[in-house]
Amino acid sequence: MALLTIFTVPKAFIHPHISLIQRNTARNLANLGPDVEAILVGDDEGVAEVAREYGLRHLPGVERNVQGTPIVASAFRLARENCNTPLLACINADNLVLPDFVETARFVSQQFKNFLLVGQRYELDITQPLDFGAGWGETLRADILQRSKPLGPGALEYMIFPRDQFSDMPSFAFGRSAWDNWMAFKACWEHWPMIDATGTIVLGHQNHDYSHLPGNKPPYKMIESLNNVRMGGGRRAIFTLKDATHLIADGQIQKQPITWARFVRGIETFPLSALHSFALAELVFWLFHPQRAFWEWRQIRAGKL
């Protein structure tokens, strides 16, 4: 039996560059070996055809919100109900994963029953089809490490977790902000180890524009992103890799070292992670960051947050 089901929700295969990089990802998933089941979720143009072309599973019928955007929880549910693997992984359809993705997932699952495995991405400019012939893993890894560095701790580029987790996800819009941060928050709320695998998993992100979004701009200020923040519990529930409890270093899972920044952040998040109190979390935030809290309050009053 396979170990890991990797699923993604591609955009329509219309824009030439988006189509190219998503085909690269589809070929990538098709070449990860027998430990991986790969699924393309969604009904957008070309998704079913590309899945069939590369021998991947296709799951139609993802639910959408009133704006027509796929709902994250629906994609998770489809993947969960249509796989037999103990682990699930969600990636974006422009990501490139290496064999270390699977090896690290196996290693962590042997240490913990419940967990969330996350990490940063390496950004790449890709303008041509990639070769997934013999030795592709070593070649692609060397290329990524030569051309790029991890982006930073703000984004969670991939999520690997036991299949039964995150079954109570709100109706987040896929491809918008904050739903991945909610997963980090949920892991801390449930006291599941959140493990930063950036130093072990090399994941490439194929850069692209945002021509599929209004104004060709990132989604951070879109109404759907703001709605995601609200559904996820508000701005205090936006957790990142800075909140990871563990990391993988030197082939071992280690607790994050205590630094002053982590100590302060721990005080800020204690009301949520330990006491499950949003009210107390808000009070602590006002005490630690009065100017920022006042700015946020004014933005919320103006309907901008």
d(CA 194, CA 180): 13
The reply to whether 157 and 271 lie within a common domain is no
Q: pTM here?
A: 0.94
How many domains does one find in the chain?
2
For 130, which DSSP code?
Answer: P
Helix crossing, 260-273 with 278-288: angle to 10°? 150
The reply to whether 204 and 85 lie within a common domain is yes
Q: What tens digit of pLDDT does each residue of 268-279 get?
A: 999 999 999 999
The reply to whether 152 and 179 lie within a common domain is yes
Q: What tens digit of pLDDT does each residue of 47-69 get?
A: 999 999 999 999 999 999 999 99
Residue 155's domain is classified under what CATH number? Answer: 3.90.550.10
pLDDT of residue 219: 76
d(CA 253, CA 196): 9
Does residue 264 belong to any structural domain of this protein?
Answer: yes
The reply to whether 182 and 291 lie within a common domain is no
Does residue 252 belong to any structural domain of this protein?
Answer: no
pLDDT of residue 216: 66
The reply to whether 141 and 87 lie within a common domain is yes
The reply to whether 179 and 282 lie within a common domain is no
Does residue 167 belong to any structural domain of this protein?
Answer: yes
Does residue 17 belong to any structural domain of this protein?
Answer: yes
Does residue 222 belong to any structural domain of this protein?
Answer: yes
* Dihedral over alpha carbons 108, 272, 91, 66 (to 10 degrees): 150
Q: What tens digit of pLDDT does each residue of 185-219 get?
A: 999 999 999 999 998 999 999 998 777 767 767 77
> Would the pLDDT of 249 be above 70?
yes
Q: Tell me the residue range of the domain where 229 lies.
A: 4-246
The reply to whether 240 and 281 lie within a common domain is no
